[in-house]
């Protein structure tokens, strides 16, 4: 009798561990997913992103929808809390994202369904930076973003609007993906005029050391949109 009770308890315990959370039931549906905040963040491999990812479900008129299911998926190694959720009273869904253990670009996919059961989705890039890319990010924050980022913040006022020749965002892959690392090094070290580009780009060869310049280039490659593909490297699609 005691053995039977212990066996029953063990089986129940196993069943309890394997039990899945109850499936969510949508109370409403929308037609589009938009990012409120938390996309294109820079984090460390294997760590939680600094800010939550907040998404919103809208209907055809652009109004937020309460009670719609939002599901988040991503490459192996990325974790989410939760994986799916109902939008709140503001039509928003909030996720905590833990990056994979390898530095690089991670493309997450948020999805939901419309009133006809058709899935609609949105791809959201996030970045896990290695040491070199973190160095580049710090240099960017100190020297580069005040001109290359047109958006002013409470911490830094952009100088973008005061420049006659507008610098490109570092994420502008259409421009930077076509500039070799040698040429980028020359531009950063000796200024834009050295490569027949804008003379408003000053030389930083006396300000930054070689590792910092290489870090800036690594950071540019990391956040590039479209993603940067190194020449001569074959990438396998999964």
For residue range 213-235, list pLDDT tens digits in order. Answer: 999 999 999 999 999 998 876 55
The more confidently predicted of residues 152 and 17 is 152
pLDDT tens digits along 70-109: 999 999 999 999 999 999 999 999 999 999 999 999 999 9
Residue 140 carries which DSSP code? I
Measure the CA–CA gap between 56 and 63, rounded to whole angstroms. 10
Sorted by where each starts, the structural domains of the chain and their CATH numbers stand as 32-128 (2.60.40.10), 131-223 (1.10.760.10)
pLDDT of the residue at 193: 96
Average pLDDT, integer, range 49-66: 97
For residue 154, give the 3-state DSSP assignment: coil
Structure-token match 């892959």, residue found: 173
Measure the CA–CA gap between 78 and 222, rounded to whole angstroms. 17
Residues 44-68 as b or e (16 or more Cβ within 10 Å = b): beeeebeebbbbbbbbeeeebbebb
Does a cis peptide bond (omega within 30 degrees of 0) precede residue 229?
no
Least confident stretch, 10-14, 21-25, 165-169, 179-183: 10-14
Handedness of CA 62, 64, 67, 70 (dihedral sign): positive
Cβ(215)–Cβ(133) under 8 Å?
Answer: yes
pLDDT of the residue at 24: 87
Query: Where residue 18 falls among pLDDT bands split at 50, 70, 90?
Result: very low
Phi, psi at residue 64, to the nearest 5°? -70, 150
- Strands 79-81 and 92-98 come out as antiparallel
Phi, psi at residue 149, to the nearest 5°? -110, 115
Measure the CA–CA gap between 214 and 30, rounded to whole angstroms. 45
pLDDT of the residue at 104: 94
CA angle 83, 171, 190 (to 5 degrees): 150
Cβ(45)–Cβ(103) under 8 Å?
Answer: yes
For residue 9, give the 3-state DSSP assignment: helix
Residue 90 carries which DSSP code? T
pTM for this structure?
0.82
What is the widest separation between alpha-carbon atoms in the chain?
A: 89
pLDDT tens digits along 167-215: 999 999 999 999 999 999 999 999 999 999 999 999 999 999 999 999 9
pLDDT of the residue at 46: 96
pLDDT of the residue at 235: 54
Structure-token match 């890319």, residue found: 133
The answer, yes or no, to whether residue 237 has pLDDT greater than 80, is no
pLDDT of the residue at 231: 83
Q: Give the pair of three-digit tokens for residue 140.
A: 């960017």
Residue 182 carries which DSSP code? H
């Amino acid at each position: 009798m005691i053995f039977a009770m212990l066996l029953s308890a063990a089986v129940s315990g196993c069943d309890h561990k394997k039990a899945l959370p109850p499936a969510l039931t949508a109370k409403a549906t929308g037609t589009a997913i938009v990012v409120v905040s938390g996309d294109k963040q820079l984090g460390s491999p294997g760590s939680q992103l600094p800010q939550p990812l907040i998404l919103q479900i809208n209907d055809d008129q652009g109004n937020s929808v309460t009670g719609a299911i939002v599901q988040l998926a991503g490459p192996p190694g990325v974790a989410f809390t939760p994986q799916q959720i109902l939008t709140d009273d503001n039509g928003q869904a909030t996720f905590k994202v833990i990056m994979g253990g390898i530095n690089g670009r991670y493309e997450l996919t948020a999805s939901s369904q419309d009133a006809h059961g058709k899935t609609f989705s949105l791809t959201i890039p996030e970045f896990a930076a290695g040491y070199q890319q973190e160095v580049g990010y710090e240099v960017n924050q100190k020297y580069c973003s005040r001109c290359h980022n047109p958006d002013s913040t409470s911490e830094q006022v952009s100088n973008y609007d005061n420049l006659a020749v507008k610098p490109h965002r570092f994420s502008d892959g259409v421009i930077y993906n076509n500039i070799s690392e040698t040429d980028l090094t020359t531009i950063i070290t000796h200024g834009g005029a050295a490569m027949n580009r804008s003379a408003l780009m000053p030389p930083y060869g006396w300000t930054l050391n070689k590792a910092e310049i290489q870090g800036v280039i690594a950071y540019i490659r990391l956040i590039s949109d479209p993603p940067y593909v190194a020449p001569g490297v074959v990438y396998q699609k999964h």
